[in-house]
Amino acid sequence: MKINVYITVLLLLLGATLTAQVIPQGNSEVEIGTATNFYVTQPLRSYPQVMPQDVPHRIVPRGELSEKRQKKADFLNSAGESPSQVDPLIQEDGFTRQAQDPIENFDGINLNVSPPDPTAAVGPNHVVQMTNGLWSVWDKSGVQAAGFPKSITDPLGGQNSGDPITLYDREADRWFISQFQFGSSLLLAVSQTPDPTGAYNVYQFPISSNDYPHYGIWGNSYLVAGNFSPNGRFYAFNREKILAGDSSAEFASLTMSGFVPGTVFKAPQPVHSEGAGIASGPAPIVWFHDNAWAGVATDAAVIWELDIDWTNPSAATVTGPLEIPLSDFDSFITGTGGDSFANIQQPNTSQRIDALVHVMNYQAHRYDFGTHESMVFNFMVEPVNGTKIAGLRWVELRRTAGNDWSLYQEGTYVDPVANESVFMGGIGMDQQGNIGLAYIKSGETTFPSLYFTGRFAADPLGVMTVNERLIVAGTNSVTSNSRYGDYCQLTRDPSDDLTFWFTGEYSGQPRKTRIASFKISDIVLNVDELDKDASELIVTSADNRLFDLTLLTETTSDILRLSVYDISGKRIVYEQVGKSNAKEYNTKIDLSSASAGIYLVEIGNAKTKLSKKIMVK
């Protein structure tokens, strides 16, 4: 996944170089380290603007392979036949609902770099997209922020190696951006405020085996896995310290025992907890096993769990693997013309493009519905062996309190119109449990284009019931090489928890990326979900130090956010509040260390917030 694009820019930063520490612990599976470099940037809006046409043209020629890609090609060329000849879950009907049109639909960063690797996240007011070379910020109407796009070396520094990822850290209201320095380090940056154009805390962590990173947020950790060595290696970062701009922020390096890659190239997924509320308990990492692989007997989803306490990270443990059998599938499509990565057909050319075989598409999401948790993910399959036509196996796992993850539903989505390939999917769930699935489609009559489908929570299990809808049509075939989109990303809008935002690559000149939002739900929620007129927010105290907060409402059962601000606007308390019973939210606010004065207490969700002033004497 390495891409070399060099841009000379003015780097404005306040810097401090640190000494790397990688310390083997008593548990041989855990190593603890700290950053080799930390600095605080100037506001990013002040950095130089870089226009896409000024980024040097970079195309990986056909047949030019890195050592790792050559190893993968050798493996693919020698891969055996899958026992699965016809996928038993191929969806051939069940499309009973009409899709809504995309809500917002605009081009992201278009630059002549192959591949562009787009990722994007959404917050209350902004959309942030990163590509191999540039990143940018838009409002939710598609208006690009003044002075953008920027080089991804601003603020991340170093050589522009690529494989960038962006996340919106919902519970902290901050932005996370990253790229790798291929073969040497991972670069992470977190915004100091909710404004993605402002200043960032930047960390350089000495992680040398760092290809194709996939990130997620769980509890008090940022997690990353990918094409790392040795097999099953992954990393956790101290989220609290990174958010605070603490240069001593640690990372923990751990290994998933029993990890079996499909090739020397792999992409296990740290599960990203999306939605209101900080995830508690061990953090899951999910992968799949194909019984065509050596040492694998059953097609399955596979889960490991990380338990880490950042007050004593060296005591972290990884449990698993938990294997959850799936219906038969074939995760391999053979290449053509001597190119192991040339899998997917395009119109009017013999050149095929990479389907990303043996890879789980970015990213896996987890949602807490109170009665249960759901996890969703997807990966490419060949529904009928030997056809070189791709489909998407999508999976929903569930668990209830005290129980392990188990299979709830799965399906194999194929082109419902013309028997073209669908691949590189992004999947997510809204707050009602409806699923959205966006993807690339390409084939004999379809230039690489972006579409979406979905299903309602109450629909028959295992099928996408929403007729596919076009996001944007490609305009030409990619003929320079077989490289095509190693990343896409689908995330849920925190402003309503019903709208999905998707970014992916479609074909054009130069290489094109798109940002689009859409809904599966046909319900328009009342903006005032907390029902201010009927709700009663009560704050009491017997000693003016410990305050009991009670919110009476039957309108919502979501996990709510509680903040306490001092007179200057500084937030001094931030926590999540779950519902105590059918009518009440209850919690205790400890202001025993606060100075005497007036404070603002705010509780609510992304749609509505209630506030009350309290006095500390």
CB 58 within 8 A of CB 4: yes
Which of 111, 58, 57 shows the shortest CA–CA distance to 509? 111
Residue type, 483: R
Other C-beta atoms within 10 Å of 149: how many? 23
Q: How far apart, in Å, are the Cα atoms of 17 and each of 37, 39, 202, 204, 329?
A: 5, 8, 11, 10, 49
Verify that 346 and 253 share a domain, yes or no: yes
In a domain, 531, yes or no: no
> Is residue 65 included in any domain, yes or no?
yes
Type of residue numbered 543: D
pLDDT in tens, 517-559: 999 998 665 556 676 666 778 888 888 889 999 998 887 777 7
Residue type, 229: S
At a CB cut-off of 8 Å and minimum separation 6, what does 518 contact?
A: 99, 100, 101, 102, 103, 436, 438, 452, 469, 471, 499, 500, 502
Query: 70-74 contacts: CB < 8 A, separation 24 or more?
Result: 71/263, 71/264, 71/265, 72/263, 72/264, 72/265, 72/340, 73/335, 73/340, 73/341
**8-41 pLDDT, tens digit each:** 333 333 333 343 333 333 345 799 999 999 999 9
How far apart CA 426 and CA 166 sit, in angstroms, is 15
Under DSSP, the state recorded for 74 is H
Confirm whether 526 is domain-assigned: no
Tell whether 392 and 317 lie within a shared domain.
Answer: yes
Residue 7 lies in a domain: no
Shared-domain flag, residues 299 and 161: yes
Domain end (from 485, 519, 553) = 519
Residue 270 placed within a domain = yes
List, for residues 440-466, the tens digit of each pLDDT value.
999 999 999 999 999 999 999 999 999
- C-alpha to C-alpha distance for 470 and 449, rounded to whole angstroms: 8
Rama region for 428: left / alpha / beta (φ>0; ψ in -120 to 50; rest): beta
**Do residues 439 and 313 both lie within one domain?**
yes
| CA torsion, ordered 152, 157, 158, 159, to nearest 10 deg | 10
Q: Are residues 215 and 351 in the same domain?
A: yes
Q: CA–CA separation, 347 vs 342, rounded Å?
A: 14
Q: What is the C-alpha separation between 124 and 482, in angstroms, rounded? A: 37
Please list, in sequence order, all residues whose beta carbon lies within 8 angstroms of the beta carbon of residue 305, skipping any fewer than 6 positions away: 282, 283, 284, 285, 318, 319, 320, 322
Whole-number Å distance between alpha carbons of 410 and 430? 17
Residues in the chain: 617
Same domain, 176 and 61: yes
Q: Which domain holds residue 397?
A: 13-102+113-519
By CB neighbour count within 10 A (0-12 exposed, 13-18 middle, 19+ buried), where does 51 fall?
A: exposed
Q: Do both 430 and 574 map to the same domain?
A: no
Provide DSSP, 181-242: ETTTEEEEEEESSS-TTS-EEEEEE--S--EEEEEEEETTEEEEEEE-SSTTEEEEEEHHHH
- For residue 551, being part of any structural domain is answered with yes
φ, ψ (nearest 5 deg) of residue 591: -115, 30
Domain boundary among 466, 489, 519: 519
- pLDDT for 561 equals 80
3-state class of 72 per DSSP? helix
Q: Identify the pLDDT of residue 24.
A: 36
Distance separating alpha carbons of residues 330 and 289, to the nearest angstrom: 10
Q: How many domains does the chain have?
A: 2
Q: Tell me how far apart the alpha carbons of residues 265 and 52 are, in angstroms, rounded to a whole number.
A: 30
CATH of residue 472's domain is: 2.130.10.10
Four-CA torsion 526, 530, 533, 539, nearest 10 degrees: -170
Spatial distance between the Cα atoms of 420 and 438, rounded to a whole number of angstroms = 15
Distance of CA 112 to the CA centre of its chain: 24
pLDDT below 50 — which residues of the chain? 1-27, 61-63
- Rounded (5°) CA angle 31-35-38: 165
For residue 75, what pLDDT is reported? 64
Q: Are residues 171 and 287 in the same domain?
A: yes
What is the pLDDT at residue 533?
A: 61
State residue 226's pLDDT score.
93
* Rg of the chain taking only CA atoms, in angstroms: 24
CATH code for position 557: 2.60.40.3080
For residue 5, being part of any structural domain is answered with: no
Rounded to an integer, what distance in angstroms lies between the CA atom of residue 155 and that of residue 11?
A: 8
- 198 and 317 co-located in one domain: yes
DSSP 3-state assignment of 244?
helix
Residues 548 and 515 in one domain: no
Q: What is the pLDDT of residue 575?
A: 81
Look up tokens 């591949």; give the residue.
115
pTM: 0.86
Calculate the alpha carbon distances from 178 to 15, 113, 158, 234, 356 in Å.
18, 18, 12, 16, 22
In a domain, 375, yes or no: yes
Using a 10 angstrom Cβ sphere, with 0-12 exposed, 13-18 middle and 19 or more buried, the burial of residue 175 is: buried
Select from 478, 609, 358, 483 the least CA-distant residue to 64.
Answer: 483
Average pLDDT score over the chain: 88
Picking from 490, 519, 548, the residue at the C-terminal end of a domain is: 519
Distance CA 33, CA 21 (A): 5
558 and 456 within one domain? no
Phi, psi at 263, each rounded to 5° = -140, -170
Based on the domain organization, do 459 and 498 belong to the same domain? yes
